[in-house]
């Protein structure tokens, strides 16, 4: 029984954690890698992202590199092997070329497409109550109900174990 209540607690914790986790908008990951016959390469190249997205570069190669826009609008500064840059965001669609300031033949391109999604339109009408008086449960109420259910199941498991 102890094992069951432990498993139950772990399962409830994991599910609750997953339910409450907010969707994070992570930066797109680009790499600096070793490549044959070149001082280094950017990967993927070209890199395509939607407008408003950001990119970080991780140096997965064996030499230090930068990712620097050809117009010097932005740079990651020098990244030693293993380092990751701060995020660089791209707000407007277009094709942006960049290079490594240490190895000028090392070149990359970022293609920024028009934003993929339009913002959701605001609700015109408030939520209607169901005939029985209850409305749709907001996520917080669902999470609370789930927590109470988990606590109750834990209590039952503990009583049976005693």
Could you tell me the smallest distance in angstroms from the CB atom of residue 105 to Cu ion? 9
Could you tell me the smallest distance in angstroms from the CB atom of residue 44 to Cu ion? 17
Instruction: Determine, following the binding rule CB under 5 A, whether residue 40 of this chain makes contact with Cu ion.
Output: yes
Residue nearest to Cu ion (CB): 100
Bridge partner residues of 65 (DSSP): 79
Could you tell me the smallest distance in angstroms from the CB atom of residue 106 to Cu ion? 5
Instruction: Determine, following the binding rule CB under 5 A, whether residue 65 of this chain makes contact with Cu ion.
Output: yes
- Per-residue contact string for residues 82-121; x = within reach of Cu ion by CB under 5 A: ------------------x-xx--x---------------
- Distance from C-alpha of 33 to C-alpha of 88, rounded to nearest angstrom: 19
Please name which of 62, 117, 134, 52 lies closest in space to residue 88, comparing C-alpha atoms: 52
**Beta strands, E only, the chain:** 28-33, 41-43, 47-50, 54-59, 68-69, 88-89, 94-99, 107-113
């Amino acid at each position: 029984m102890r094992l069951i209540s432990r498993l139950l607690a772990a399962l409830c914790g994991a599910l609750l954690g997953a339910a409450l986790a907010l969707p994070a908008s992570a930066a797109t990951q680009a790499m600096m890698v070793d490549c044959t016959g070149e001082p280094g390469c950017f990967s993927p190249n070209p890199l395509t992202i939607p407008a408003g997205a950001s990119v970080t570069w991780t140096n997965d190669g064996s030499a230090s590199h930068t990712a620097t826009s050809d117009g010097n609008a932005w740079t990651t500064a020098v990244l030693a092997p293993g380092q990751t840059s701060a995020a660089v965001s791209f707000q407007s669609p277009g094709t942006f070329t960049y290079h490594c300031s240490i190895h000028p033949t090392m070149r990359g391109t970022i293609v920024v497409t028009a934003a993929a999604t339009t913002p959701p339109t605001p609700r015109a009408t408030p939520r209607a109550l169901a005939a029985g008086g209850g409305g749709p449960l907001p996520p917080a109420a669902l999470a609370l109900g789930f927590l109470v259910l988990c606590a109750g199941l834990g209590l039952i498991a503990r009583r049976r174990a005693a």
